[in-house]
Homo-oligomer: A and B are copies of this chain.
Amino acid sequence: MTDRVPILKIGEILLVSIQFDLEDQKVLDLQDDLSNRIVETGAKGVIIDISSLEIVDSFVGRMLTVNASLSRVLGAETIVVGMRPAVAITLVELGLSLNDVRTALNLERGLKLLRRLNAGRA
């Protein structure tokens, strides 16, 4: 196994499915890999699936926010998809509002949202 989170590509969109708890080094690796792939591929959007995550604490929340800002600077919009209801409740209770991070219910809706955003921008 590699220790990197794989980044899949569908057209102009990059897809990251987070399946295990991310420690510091992995988060940094993912940020590196993701920004490199955005530059290489000219991707217009990034979808991060967190349906495996049962807990999103402030560390993961920050990772999502930083990744979204980083991608935006490089010209790609980020959508976080697959958030579990329990995770949403915790985030709101903790006051972690994930500002700047767009969300969608699932991958399909995320793809639709990205297409709409990019159509509006083009």
Contacts and interface: CB of A to CB of B under 8 A. Distances in A.
A75 interface: no
A118 interface: no
A95 interface: no
What's the number of copies of this chain in the assembled complex? 2
A1 B108 contact: no
A103 interface: no
Interface of A: 1-2, 4-6, 8-11, 15, 17, 19-21, 49, 51-54, 82, 106-108, 111
Contacts of A107: 8-10, 15
**Which of the listed residues A6, A49, A106, A108 has the most CB atoms from chain B within 10 Å of its own CB?**
A6
A1 B52 contact: yes
Nearest to A106: B9
Given A17-B17, A107-B9, A108-B11, A2 B54 contact: yes
A52 B108 contact: no
A118 B51 CA distance: 28
Given A1-B54, A54-B1, A82 B19 contact: no
